[in-house]
Amino acid sequence: MLLLDMDSREKATLQNCRNCLMEDLDPTKSFLAQLHYSNILTQDQVERVEKQVTRQDKVVTLMEILPRRGPRAFRQFVQVLRHDYQWISEKMETELNIQDYTQRIRTAVEERMRLNGEILRDKDYILKVLSETIVPIVLQEVSNISPTGSPSEALDQPLKDLISDHLMPLLKGPDGGKLKLDSLHYEILLTKISDLLDELAKRCWKSLGLDSEDGACTEYSIPKLIEKRFEDMKVEVLAMKKEAKKVKKVEEKLTAENQKYKLETKTLKDEVKKLKSDNQSNRQECKKLKDELKKSKMESEKLRQEVNNLKELLDSNGIDLRISSEFLGT
């Protein structure tokens, strides 16, 4: 991705603070990790710095990379420095103020020359004197007047209020905590506001089910995305209602069939119960018949025995059973 150049004042500030950075800054792994996390350096650039043998070489490599990391790199770098190297960050902010005032004076001088048509033979010398003597004195005087030491107090406080009273409650809620903003310069505050707005936009996109790399995020505004998402949800809800009606009809049909099966099951149970009862009665009747049959067999056997006994008695008395039977008509 092509980055815009760092502001010329910020480049000059880095150059003028080079000795301070060379003397005190130690680009440790944790420090470089903070730069990577803040999107100041890429992973390849972090590895490039880490490959350097000495601390000074690492600082030199870092100073070569920073001016090419875009318009936000300087402010983010100063913000990272504030945690462990506050004296360096303060020096860089002071130097940036000098560069800012110098640029304004340079612009004013050039504008004056343009309007009057004058040619100042020693313009560069005059600008050098202004930047090295008058501007520091002016900044010192302003610092003595302002309790915060910042020449932009009138702008700082509204920015702090904007962050504390509006952006933070939107992101973290009313009880989401406070940021320490007292010592931040207005340019750092602008960077903080930009970061918070970026985070707010990402959270809005995430809530809408979109990824930050989705083309819709850059094609439409957040209100338009919300409206579009609302319309999509209305279509989804309508489709869900139609589907719910279908499900309800199927449910009613299944309920009716279930009721029918319950009635049929009850009827079958009653029939089975009746069959069991009839079967029990049949078993009792069969038992009774078996008992009667057994009794009949016993009586028949008894009669047969009596007949045999009678035959023997008749035979012993010389009576012919057959004649007697004919006589009896049997």
The reply to whether 311 falls in a domain is no
Segments forming the whole domain that contains residue 27: 8-207
Residue 148: predicted pLDDT? 43
As to burial, measured by CB atoms within 10 angstroms (0-12 exposed, 13-18 middle, 19+ buried), residue 136 is middle
Rounded Cα gap, residues 132 and 151, in angstroms: 18
Is 192 found in the same domain as 161?
yes
Q: How many residues does the chain have?
A: 330
Q: Answer with the one of 152, 182, 207 that is the final residue of a domain.
A: 207
The reply to whether 226 falls in a domain is yes
Is 180 found in the same domain as 92?
yes
As to burial, measured by CB atoms within 10 angstroms (0-12 exposed, 13-18 middle, 19+ buried), residue 254 is exposed
Sign for the pseudo-dihedral over CA of 83, 86, 88, 92: positive
Is 99 found in the same domain as 14?
yes
Is 167 found in the same domain as 230?
no
The predicted-structure confidence for 21-71, as pLDDT tens digits, reads as follows 998 899 989 899 989 888 889 999 999 999 999 999 999 999 999 988 888
The reply to whether 3 falls in a domain is no
Q: What is the dihedral of CA 16, 17, 19, 23, to 10 degrees?
A: 180
User: Is residue 127 a contact partner of residue 108, using CB atoms and an 8 Å limit?
Assistant: no
E strands within 23-168? none
Is 119 found in the same domain as 28?
yes
The reply to whether 162 falls in a domain is yes
The b-or-e profile of 190-224 (16+ CB within 10 A means b, else e) is: ebbbebbeeeeeeebbeebebeeeeeebeeeeeee
Is 150 found in the same domain as 285?
no
Is 151 found in the same domain as 20?
yes
The reply to whether 142 falls in a domain is yes
Type of residue at 116? N
The number of folded domains in the chain is: 2
Residue 61: predicted pLDDT? 93
Is 75 found in the same domain as 46?
yes
Is 198 found in the same domain as 69?
yes
Residue 151: predicted pLDDT? 43
Q: What is the pTM of this model?
A: 0.40
Q: Answer with the one of 144, 179, 207 that is the final residue of a domain.
A: 207
Is 137 found in the same domain as 286?
no
The reply to whether 213 falls in a domain is no
The reply to whether 79 falls in a domain is yes
Residue 147: predicted pLDDT? 41
Is 133 found in the same domain as 110?
yes
Mean pLDDT by 10 residues, the chain (330 residues): 70 89 90 89 92 92 89 88 88 84 71 57 55 56 45 55 64 61 58 69 75 67 73 85 87 86 85 83 85 86 86 78 51
Q: Answer with the one of 182, 207, 232 that is the final residue of a domain.
A: 207
The reply to whether 212 falls in a domain is no
Residues 6+ apart with CB under 8 A from 199: 171
Is 265 found in the same domain as 165?
no
Residue 52: predicted pLDDT? 92
